[in-house]
Amino acid sequence: MENSPDPAPPLLEVRGISKSFGAVRALQEVDFTLRAGEIHALLGENGAGKSTLIKVITGVFPRDAGIVRISGEEVAPRSAKAALGAGIATVYQEVNLLPNLSVAQNLFLDRQPMRFGIVREGEMRRRAKALLADFGLDIDVAAPLGNYSVAIQHVTAIARAVDLSARVLILDEPTASLDRHEVEILFGIMRQLAQRGIGIVFVSHFLDQVYEISDRITVLRNGRLVGERETVSLPRLDLIRMMLGRELAETTSARASVTEHKAREICASFEGYGKAGYVAPFNLELRHGEVVGLAGLLGSGRTETARLVFGAERADLGQAKVEGVPVRLQSPRDGVRHGFGYCPEERKTDGIIAELSVRENIVLALQAKRGLYRPLSRREQDEIARRYVKMLDIRPPDPERPVGLLSGGNQQKVLLARWLATSPRLLVLDEPTRGIDVGAHAEIIRLIRELCDEGLALLVISSELDEIVTYSDRVVVLRDRAHVEELAGEAIDVGHILAAIAADGAATAHEGRA
Amino acid sequence: MTALLPRRGLAQVLALIVILAVDRIVSPQFFDLRLQDGRLFGSLIDVLNRGTPVALLTLGMVLVIATRGIDLSVGAVMAISGAIAAGLADSHGLPIVLAAALGAGLVCGLWNGFLVAVLGMQPIVATLILMVAGRGIAQLITEGRIVTFSSPDLVWLGNGSVLGLPVPVVIALGMLILTAAVVRGSALGLLIEATGGNARASELAGVGTRAMILSVYVWCSVCAALAGVIAAADIMGADANNAGLWLELDAILAVVIGGTSLFGGRFSLVLAVLGALIIQTMNTGILLSGYPPEFNLLVKAVVVLAVLLLQSPKLSGLAGIAMRLRRTKA
């Protein structure tokens, strides 16, 4: 790998970094090199050590061994602030700025322009506006940051970092909650910064994006360096192989052949179902053994539909039926009682109970369904937890570990297990593969199919159209909080879905800009 | 790092042992027990007896705190139930006195629970209302006087003995066993911890979080009402101004010493009650030592700090680093 003949030392050079947490060796002798002006993707499965490496480089975790050099000069920051001083800035997936302060205050936090001990608001706003103009943003900098989309918050965080004279910019999953249009804006900014000589580390699970933006790729696996390659000379299959260390099971094969296999029975139906100001009334039939995909842009009403179907939100119009019998879905409890399950998009805030163990998280919905007076004995809980940990390959396979310590993919599996344990008739999955590594991604898609073959009805939301096309029997397309089209059988392909999303105009998509 | 953390409960047991040892030094007769008229006497029994009101409050408070709430009104509820019990004691039988006093606690709990679970008020504000108003209600009941009574039944509740142990201690023990049996014998414990750990996620998993929150406030107030009856029975009178005054803070302290986080989630009934005993052991020790009781507050603060430091993961981390340094030097 030492094939760079140029005498100038690389911008960021990491050599032989090791880090252990107790008995767990999170990083072993990892090397990483970032050159000035390049966009370098850092890839690996969940738990491969990407986050740990970033946190060691930025001084959040002390390292056990190894050195970090910036332009040939050794640095050992002891905090994120010290790292910033050394020229390394990190923007995390969850933007770590203050949403209640204005954009300008966020940009100049800790270094506001002062005169006589008083912050010069006007001056600060003027400079904030100029700074953001560099990034192609023209917004009201006096408004609270929280009023803006995640994309703008990200750009603000990046602008702040760059203005603090960062030479190394680490972006941890920056695109996870952005829509296509916003990703384009972000990529434009990244290219512009790279041209200015800033080195960018890009951590992402979206391989398309990695190929689109990065110059070079470093892959970690199980805390070790697998290799560093030029993006252009690394075929996708090889990359996935590097990340997984095993042949990826066949991930794409359309289910079209299995459809129309038999006339499927209706599991749940919704007629004229909707809520004013939330989602326009829609008709939806969910059948046993069938996957219905919900496609649409961010904010098109996908999650809202899912919440109405499950009962997390009360409909004010229409009629829901379960197995042909009219029911009222007033609360999640009603949904659970009728045999529904819901894996929400926001795993951390709406899904897991971080402090409780894997076992407790898995049995929670089943216990809630059984009620207070029919407690699951410890033996039954252990049994259920063991069964699902094994069935879904939850790692580490320790049912007593607090679920907050698991990686995102494994947390998602715990949530799936929680619902599977209730033997549901309908599962609603909101972005089940978001923020999950390639391996777990393929596994979850395989699971969706298996569950479906066992007669479960599934309603799945995903931003990844390829994915939706792969497993759906029918696809409902949403636009502007309304169901606009339903595709089935042969008609399901990415092109048709995109056409349905884009039909009727350019009015869509521009949600990022204020 | 987890290996370096003290085992759950170790910090509390150690603290209690240290305080007991200090008590033994300042008062050489501290561990002496003697049997007189079929009842045990001694400082240890005194600790248990005096600790009963706070221990009872703690039983309810720990559940409330586990749901990420807090109940500031328990002292006031003690005053209300004490006033009711004292007012009825000489004209009604014990069952009616108890039913009325505990019924008042139930109503107080429903009120608190309604504000928090149904109206969604912040627990600290919601229970502050009853904390202030409750004492006023108690004063209205006693008409501003200290109501005394002589009903032997009620007096027995505060001063009698069963199998050599003071009745209040037996009641507190019974309530601990009852609470533990209900909470850990049903699914309540898991569902309370889930609600406190992440209410949104629990709700989406089908947990009836509102019912859960309502029930813990009700239980907390019922426990407080029982503590109020015992406190009144102990002094054979009800003093609406001072009954249970500031005891809500001792109860919260006991819960925290017992290792339950104010951010909700995991809780331990036994350790919380142990926390109440730690506080009372300190109080009794200072009284016995002959120092002015003002010292109590200062010493309490120091001990609390010590227990919390022992529980702090950061400190365990530091201890780990220190140990590693020593090992590398050796």
DSSP string, A175-208: TTT--HHHHHHHHHHHHHHHHTT-EEEEE-S-HH
Best mutation target among A372, A373, A411 (most B Cβ atoms within 10 Å) is A372
Strand partners, A266: A287
**Exposed, middle or buried: residue A443 (CB in 10 Å: 0-12, 13-18, 19+)?**
buried
Residues A47 and A110 in one domain: yes
User: Which tops the pLDDT comparison, A465 or B163?
Assistant: B163
Band (B318; pLDDT cuts 50, 70, 90):
low
DSSP A357: B
The first and second tokens of residue A14, run together, are 């990491």
Same domain (yes/no): A454, A317: yes
A6 confidence band (pLDDT: 50, 70, 90): low
Chain segment B72-87, per-residue pLDDT in tens = 999 999 999 999 999 9
Verdict on whether the full-model pTM lies above 0.80: no
Contact A203, A25 (CB under 8 A): no
CA distance A360 to chain B (A): 7
Q: Are residues A432 and A419 in the same domain?
A: no
For the cut 80, the answer to whether the pLDDT of residue B211 exceeds it is yes
In this prediction, residue B189 carries a pLDDT of 94
Angle of helix B209-235 versus helix B152-159 axis, rounded to 10: 100
Q: Are residues A145 and A273 in the same domain?
A: no
Domain that holds residue A70: 12-244
State whether A351 and B204 contact (CB < 8 Å).
yes
Q: Convert the pLDDT of each residue in B233-271 to its tens digit.
A: 999 999 998 998 889 999 999 998 888 888 888 999 999
Cβ contact (<8 Å) for B190 and A364? Answer: yes
CA distance A353 to chain B (A): 5
Q: Encoding tokens for residue B9?
A: 């409960």
Q: How far apart are CA B89 and CA B100, in angstroms?
A: 11
pLDDT at A250 over 50: no
Residue that terminates a domain, selected from A366, A397, A423: A423
Query: Which pLDDT value is given to residue B234?
Result: 92
Q: What residues contact B205, with CB distance under 8 A and at least 6 apart? A: A332, A336, A364, A365, A368, A418, B194
pLDDT attached to residue B37: 80
- CA separation (Å) from A22 to A374, B316, B320? 39, 13, 10
Yes or no, beta carbons of B186 and A372 under 8 Å apart:
yes
pLDDT tens per residue, range B15-33: 899 989 988 998 888 888 8
The pLDDT value recorded for residue B323 is 62
pLDDT at A444 over 90: no
- Residue A418 phi/psi, 5° resolution? -55, -45
Do the domain assignments include residue A514? no
The whole-number average pLDDT for the span A244-268 is 55
Q: Which residue of B has its CA nearest to A361?
A: B194
Same-domain check for residues A415 and A451: no
Please report which confidence band the pLDDT of residue B4 belongs to, taking 50, 70 and 90 as the band edges: very low
Structure tokens at B311: 């529980």
Query: Do both A168 and A23 map to the same domain?
Result: yes
Structure confidence at residue A136 (pLDDT): 77
Q: State the pLDDT at residue B235.
A: 92
- Looking at CA atoms only, how far is residue B151 from chain A in angstroms? 39
Contact B206 A353 (CB under 8 A): no
Number of CB pairs, chain A paired with chain B, less than 8 A apart: 84
Instruction: Suggest the residue from A345, A353, A366 to mutate for an interface test with chain B (most B CBs closer than 10 A).
Output: A353
A337 touching chain B per CB within 8 A = yes
- Of A38-52, A350-364, B159-173, B179-193, least confident by mean pLDDT is A38-52
Q: Determine the Cα–Cα distance for residues A265 and A122; give it in Å rounded to an integer.
A: 65
| pLDDT value at A256 more than 60 | no
Q: Is the pLDDT reported for residue B181 higher than 70? A: yes
Residues 6+ apart with CB under 8 A from B226: B56, B81, B101, B102, B105, B171, B175
Same structural domain, A325 and A368: no
Same domain? A104 vs A71: yes
pLDDT at position B306, please? 77
- Cβ distance A368 to B208 less than 8 Å, yes or no, reads yes
Dist CA B245 CA B294 (whole Å): 16
A385 belongs to a structural domain = yes
Looking at residue A513, its pLDDT comes to 34
User: Which has the closest alpha carbon to B235: B83, B44, B77?
Assistant: B83
Predicted confidence at residue B273, as pLDDT, reads 95
Average pLDDT over every residue of A436-462:
84
Question: Residue B67: what pLDDT?
Answer: 95
B134 falls in which pLDDT band (50, 70, 90)? very high
Q: Does residue A514 or residue B177 have the better pLDDT?
A: B177
Percent above pLDDT 70 for chain B? 92
More confidently predicted of A155 and A377: A377
Could you tell me which residue, B63 or B286, shows the higher pLDDT?
Answer: B63
Hey, are the CB atoms on B194 and A336 less than 8 Å from each other? no
Q: What is the pLDDT of residue B205?
A: 94
**Rounded mean pLDDT of B96-120?**
96
Residue A261 lies in a domain: no
Residues A362-404 have pLDDT tens digits of: 999 999 999 888 999 999 999 999 999 998 888 888 999 999 8
Cα–chain center distance at A158: 19
For chain B, the straight-line distance linking the first and the last C-alpha, in angstroms and rounded, comes to 21
Residues A363 and A441 placed together within one structural domain of the fold: no
Q: What is the mean pLDDT of residues A13-40?
A: 88
Give the domain-ending residue among A391, A423, A455.
A423
Which residues in chain B touch residue A333, judged by CB atoms under 8 angstroms apart?
Answer: 206, 208
Judge: A332–B203 Cβ closer than 8 Å, yes or no.
yes
- pLDDT tens-digit readout, A31-85: 999 999 999 999 887 667 888 899 999 888 888 999 999 888 888 888 888 888 8
Q: Which of the four pLDDT bands, split at 50, 70 and 90, describes residue A457? A: very high
Look at A20-24, A353-357, B153-157 and tell me which has the smallest mean pLDDT: A20-24
Query: What is the pLDDT, as a whole number, of residue A262?
Result: 47
Residue A400, chain B, CB below 8 Å: the answer is: no
| Number of domains chain A contains | 3
For the domain that residue A162 is a member of, what is the CATH number? 3.40.50.300
Q: Is A324 exposed, middle or buried (0-12, 13-18, 19+ CB in 10 A)?
A: exposed
Are A353 and B3 within 8 A, CB to CB? no
Q: Are A356 and B1 inside 8 Å of each other by CB?
A: no
Closest CA to A168 of A105, A246, A77: A77
Q: Are B192 and B216 in contact (CB under 8 A)?
A: yes
CA distance B322 to chain A (A): 15
Check whether residue A274 and residue A240 sit in a common domain: no
Domain-located, residue A469: yes
The tens digit of pLDDT for each residue in A472-493 reads 999 999 987 889 999 988 888 8
CB pair distance less than 8 Å for A356 and B185: no
Is the pLDDT reported for residue A415 higher than 90? yes
Task: Provide the ipTM.
Answer: 0.84
> What pLDDT does A514 receive?
32
Examine the pLDDT at B330 and tell me if it is beyond 60.
no
* pLDDT of the residue at B6: 44
Output the pLDDT for position A439: 74
Q: Do A350 and B200 touch (CB under 8 A)?
A: yes
Q: What pLDDT shows up at residue A503? A: 67
- Chain B residues near any Cβ of chain A (below 8 Å): 1-3, 185-188, 190-191, 193-194, 197-198, 200-208, 265-266
A311 vs A416: CA distance, rounded Å: 18
Same domain, A90 and A237: yes
Which residue from A60, A64, A67 is spatially nearest to A32, judged by alpha carbons? A67
Q: How confident is the model at residue B320 (pLDDT cuts 50, 70, 90)?
A: low
Domain boundary among A393, A423, A453: A423
Q: Within this chain, do residues A419 and A430 fall inside the same structural domain, yes or no?
A: no
Instruction: Decide if A375 touches B, using CB distance below 8 A.
Output: yes
Mean pLDDT for chain A? 84
Quick one: pLDDT at residue B103? Answer: 97
Do the Cβ atoms of B200 and A363 come within 8 Å? no
| Max avg pLDDT among A18-22, A93-97, A114-118 | A18-22
